Structure 1
Amino acid sequence: MIEFKFDTQLLIAGQNLSEDDINDYITENFEGDSLLAVGDDELIKIHFHTNKPWEILEYCASLGEIHDVVVENMERQANGLKG
Protein backbone atom coordinates (compact mmCIF):
# COMPACT_ATOMS: atom_id res chain seq x y z
CA MET A 1 0.00 0.00 0.00
CA ILE A 2 1.18 3.50 -0.83
CA GLU A 3 1.31 5.87 2.16
CA PHE A 4 0.71 9.04 0.13
CA LYS A 5 -1.51 8.23 -2.79
CA PHE A 6 -1.63 11.36 -4.98
CA ASP A 7 1.29 12.60 -7.07
CA THR A 8 0.59 16.33 -7.23
CA GLN A 9 2.45 18.54 -9.71
CA LEU A 10 1.91 22.13 -10.78
CA LEU A 11 3.53 25.41 -11.70
CA ILE A 12 3.10 28.65 -9.75
CA ALA A 13 3.57 31.89 -11.68
CA GLY A 14 3.94 35.02 -9.57
CA GLN A 15 6.30 37.64 -8.26
CA ASN A 16 8.84 37.43 -5.45
CA LEU A 17 8.36 33.68 -5.07
CA SER A 18 10.87 31.83 -2.90
CA GLU A 19 11.45 28.12 -3.44
CA ASP A 20 12.99 27.89 0.05
CA ASP A 21 9.99 29.56 1.75
CA ILE A 22 7.52 27.41 -0.21
CA ASN A 23 9.47 24.24 0.56
CA ASP A 24 9.59 25.09 4.28
CA TYR A 25 5.87 25.96 4.44
CA ILE A 26 4.76 22.76 2.71
CA THR A 27 7.10 20.63 4.85
CA GLU A 28 5.84 22.20 8.08
CA ASN A 29 2.11 22.31 7.25
CA PHE A 30 1.18 19.36 5.03
CA GLU A 31 1.57 15.61 5.30
CA GLY A 32 3.38 14.01 2.38
CA ASP A 33 6.74 13.18 0.88
CA SER A 34 8.94 13.51 -2.21
CA LEU A 35 8.65 17.31 -2.18
CA LEU A 36 10.37 19.33 -4.87
CA ALA A 37 9.93 23.10 -5.04
CA VAL A 38 12.27 24.46 -7.70
CA GLY A 39 12.42 27.55 -9.84
CA ASP A 40 13.03 31.25 -9.50
CA ASP A 41 11.21 34.31 -8.16
CA GLU A 42 8.62 34.24 -10.99
CA LEU A 43 7.99 30.52 -11.63
CA ILE A 44 8.10 27.57 -9.23
CA LYS A 45 7.52 23.90 -10.07
CA ILE A 46 5.93 21.86 -7.28
CA HIS A 47 6.01 18.06 -7.02
CA PHE A 48 4.55 16.46 -3.87
CA HIS A 49 3.04 13.14 -2.83
CA THR A 50 0.06 13.62 -0.49
CA ASN A 51 -3.36 12.27 0.39
CA LYS A 52 -4.91 15.76 0.24
CA PRO A 53 -3.84 17.38 -3.05
CA TRP A 54 -6.56 20.03 -2.75
CA GLU A 55 -4.72 21.54 0.24
CA ILE A 56 -1.53 21.95 -1.81
CA LEU A 57 -3.49 23.45 -4.71
CA GLU A 58 -5.22 25.93 -2.39
CA TYR A 59 -1.94 26.99 -0.78
CA CYS A 60 -0.13 27.38 -4.10
CA ALA A 61 -3.05 29.35 -5.57
CA SER A 62 -2.65 31.82 -2.70
CA LEU A 63 0.90 32.53 -3.94
CA GLY A 64 0.16 33.21 -7.59
CA GLU A 65 -1.47 31.76 -10.69
CA ILE A 66 -1.31 27.98 -10.80
CA HIS A 67 -1.25 26.07 -14.08
CA ASP A 68 -0.18 22.79 -15.65
CA VAL A 69 -1.82 21.01 -12.71
CA VAL A 70 -1.50 17.21 -12.65
CA VAL A 71 -2.89 15.02 -9.88
CA GLU A 72 -2.38 11.31 -10.40
CA ASN A 73 -3.56 8.46 -8.22
CA MET A 74 -0.41 6.36 -7.75
CA GLU A 75 -2.38 3.55 -6.10
CA ARG A 76 -4.36 3.05 -9.31
CA GLN A 77 -1.15 3.19 -11.35
CA ALA A 78 0.43 0.53 -9.14
CA ASN A 79 -2.58 -1.68 -9.92
CA GLY A 80 -2.08 -1.23 -13.68
CA LEU A 81 -4.88 1.31 -14.09
CA LYS A 82 -4.82 4.85 -15.42
CA GLY A 83 -3.95 7.28 -12.60
Structure 2
Amino acid sequence: MIEYKFDTQLLIAGENLSEDEIYEYFVKHFKGDCLLAVGDENLIKIHFHTNEPWEVLQYCDSIGDIHDVVVENMERQSKGLKG
Protein backbone atom coordinates (compact mmCIF):
# COMPACT_ATOMS: atom_id res chain seq x y z
CA MET A 1 0.00 0.00 0.00
CA ILE A 2 1.20 3.48 -0.87
CA GLU A 3 1.25 5.87 2.11
CA TYR A 4 0.61 9.01 0.03
CA LYS A 5 -1.36 8.07 -3.04
CA PHE A 6 -1.63 11.26 -5.12
CA ASP A 7 1.33 12.47 -7.17
CA THR A 8 0.61 16.21 -7.38
CA GLN A 9 2.51 18.39 -9.84
CA LEU A 10 1.94 21.96 -10.96
CA LEU A 11 3.49 25.28 -11.83
CA ILE A 12 2.91 28.50 -9.90
CA ALA A 13 3.39 31.76 -11.80
CA GLY A 14 3.59 35.01 -9.89
CA GLU A 15 5.80 37.73 -8.53
CA ASN A 16 8.23 37.59 -5.62
CA LEU A 17 7.74 33.85 -5.15
CA SER A 18 10.20 32.15 -2.79
CA GLU A 19 10.94 28.47 -3.22
CA ASP A 20 12.28 28.35 0.36
CA GLU A 21 9.11 29.88 1.85
CA ILE A 22 6.88 27.59 -0.21
CA TYR A 23 8.93 24.54 0.76
CA GLU A 24 8.73 25.44 4.45
CA TYR A 25 4.97 26.04 4.22
CA PHE A 26 4.50 22.57 2.74
CA VAL A 27 6.60 20.94 5.47
CA LYS A 28 4.65 22.71 8.24
CA HIS A 29 1.12 22.38 6.84
CA PHE A 30 0.83 19.29 4.62
CA LYS A 31 1.37 15.58 5.14
CA GLY A 32 3.26 13.93 2.33
CA ASP A 33 6.65 13.13 0.86
CA CYS A 34 8.85 13.57 -2.21
CA LEU A 35 8.53 17.36 -2.05
CA LEU A 36 10.17 19.41 -4.76
CA ALA A 37 9.72 23.19 -4.91
CA VAL A 38 12.13 24.74 -7.40
CA GLY A 39 12.23 27.78 -9.61
CA ASP A 40 12.67 31.50 -9.33
CA GLU A 41 10.69 34.53 -8.17
CA ASN A 42 8.32 34.27 -11.16
CA LEU A 43 7.78 30.52 -11.61
CA ILE A 44 7.89 27.61 -9.16
CA LYS A 45 7.54 23.91 -10.03
CA ILE A 46 5.87 21.79 -7.35
CA HIS A 47 6.04 18.01 -7.06
CA PHE A 48 4.51 16.41 -3.97
CA HIS A 49 2.98 13.09 -2.90
CA THR A 50 -0.03 13.58 -0.61
CA ASN A 51 -3.47 12.26 0.24
CA GLU A 52 -5.00 15.76 0.10
CA PRO A 53 -4.04 17.27 -3.26
CA TRP A 54 -6.95 19.73 -3.07
CA GLU A 55 -5.28 21.41 -0.07
CA VAL A 56 -2.05 21.78 -2.03
CA LEU A 57 -3.92 23.29 -4.99
CA GLN A 58 -5.82 25.70 -2.75
CA TYR A 59 -2.63 26.98 -1.12
CA CYS A 60 -0.72 27.29 -4.39
CA ASP A 61 -3.62 29.14 -6.00
CA SER A 62 -3.57 31.60 -3.10
CA ILE A 63 0.02 32.64 -3.84
CA GLY A 64 -0.01 32.73 -7.63
CA ASP A 65 -1.56 31.58 -10.88
CA ILE A 66 -1.46 27.78 -11.05
CA HIS A 67 -1.26 25.89 -14.32
CA ASP A 68 -0.07 22.60 -15.85
CA VAL A 69 -1.76 20.82 -12.94
CA VAL A 70 -1.40 17.03 -12.82
CA VAL A 71 -2.81 14.85 -10.04
CA GLU A 72 -2.28 11.12 -10.53
CA ASN A 73 -3.48 8.27 -8.34
CA MET A 74 -0.35 6.15 -7.78
CA GLU A 75 -2.34 3.28 -6.21
CA ARG A 76 -4.21 2.86 -9.49
CA GLN A 77 -0.96 3.09 -11.42
CA SER A 78 0.61 0.37 -9.26
CA LYS A 79 -2.27 -1.91 -10.34
CA GLY A 80 -1.61 -1.21 -14.02
CA LEU A 81 -4.57 1.16 -14.31
CA LYS A 82 -4.63 4.75 -15.58
CA GLY A 83 -3.71 7.08 -12.70
TM-score, normalised on structure 2? 1.00
The runs of 5 or more residues in structure 1 that have no matched partner are none
Letter in 1 for 2:13: A
Letter in 2 for 1:16: N
- SS of 1:67 mapped into structure 2: strand
Over aligned residue pairs, what C-alpha RMSD do you find?
Answer: 0.2
Letter in 2 for 1:41: E
Q: In 1, Cα distance between the equivalents of 2:43 and 2:13?
A: 5
Matches within 5 A, 1:57-68: 57-68=57-68
- SS of 1:16 mapped into structure 2: coil
TM-score, normalised on structure 1? 1.00
Displacement of 1:72 in angstroms is 0.1
Letter in 2 for 1:28: K
Stretches (4+) displaced over 4 A: none
- 1:6 corresponds in structure 2 to 6
- 2:71 corresponds in structure 1 to 71
Q: In 2, Cα distance between the equivalents of 1:27 and 1:70?
A: 20
Displacement of 1:71 in angstroms is 0.1
Aligned residues: 83
Among all aligned residue pairs of Structure 1 and Structure 2, give the percentage whose two residues are the same amino acid.
75
The runs of 5 or more residues in structure 2 that have no matched partner are none
